[in-house]
Structure 1
């Protein structure tokens, strides 16, 4: 009987020890989160394809953007955090053109992964990469009006800082390439976000 008790105690100790160690090194970044973000966005195009033909436009346009996001982070090792995120963003008053053709960014959906390093227990420096889909309205002359879903990739990085155990703030730069065919269509963003962690 004593042997069984000692064996059970030893097994319990072995099971609890890794969990206790993980708890001692966990900086509270593991778990789901939601957030809001906003910032600056620049769309840069050079004769991009649309749903019918080519848009005769070479121009850059600066605007603001607002969005929401949700995701999940996990501290996979001491100071190492990885995560996944889905988001929906809406440019603000973003139509631009040259009198012959115009483009109107309407919304973007981004799905991305990130990996970061905790330079301090409350400060995460990270890189991000993933998929982006943008919906754009295009007008060419008086007769051509189309809406085009553009698919591409994004790459960026940023810094996130915990303000409380549940709330964090971040700043992030992001480059997105939505080019198709011979045309150019890319996007630069600087985003400020506030997250709530569950």
Structure 2
């Protein structure tokens, strides 16, 4: 009788060890990289005392990275926080203002956001996000063949949303749209972004 109990117990332990661990998706820390499309629009504002009177826009490629933390508050709902950093390439915005030439060059930006999501299934998260954004921008003004340069940090806010899918137990991919408004100091400075990201979930 004792031998049967021991064999049964050993079989149960072996079965537990052999059974694959179930991944706890979208719960815990993660890091990732992202790339995509960026469109910046500027009009009727002053950047470090240099006026931009015209309405101009420019499209560019953007690359960046991020780190965050997910917390499952229930079987279907996830909340979290994320910090990101990005830079754009070939993104100079040029405008003619009162006969002068102005070049606006977004250098880099970072953001701190919160996000909330709903698990459509065990591996797919649909989410929205919102939070703070900051961009470093350099302007170059050419007037009467005299060139002057200035830089400024622009504060703003962003909102967005997307879908993230677990590809393996640790790797996920996401597709996201973001709108960022840096125009709270007067005038217009907006960014529209479509981003693809790959994350490693710890």
Question: What TM-score comes out, normalization by structure 2 length?
Answer: 0.82
1:139 Cα deviation after fit: 1.2
1:144 Cα deviation after fit: 2.9
1:159 Cα deviation after fit: 0.1
Question: What TM-score comes out, normalization by structure 1 length?
Answer: 0.84
In structure 2, distance between residues paired with 1:182 and 1:105: 17
In structure 2, distance between residues paired with 1:150 and 1:109: 11
Aligned partner (choices 159, 162, 168) of residue 166 of structure 2: 162
Match of 1:182 in 2: 186
* Equivalence map 1:52-131=2 (5 Å): 52-99=49-96, 100-131=101-132
Aligned partner (choices 45, 48, 62) of residue 42 of structure 2: 45
Structure 1: stretches of 5+ with no match in the other structure: 1-24
1:27 Cα deviation after fit: 4.0
Task: Please tell me whether the aligned partners of residues 41 and 65 of structure 1 are also in contact (alpha carbons under 8 angstroms).
Answer: yes
**Structural RMSD (CA):** 1.7
Deviations 1:101-129 (A, max 9, x none): 11001100011000000001000000000
Task: Please tell me whether the aligned partners of residues 57 and 102 of structure 1 are also in contact (alpha carbons under 8 angstroms).
Answer: no
Structure 2: stretches of 5+ with no match in the other structure: 1-21
Considering fraction of residues, name the structure with more strand.
Answer: 2
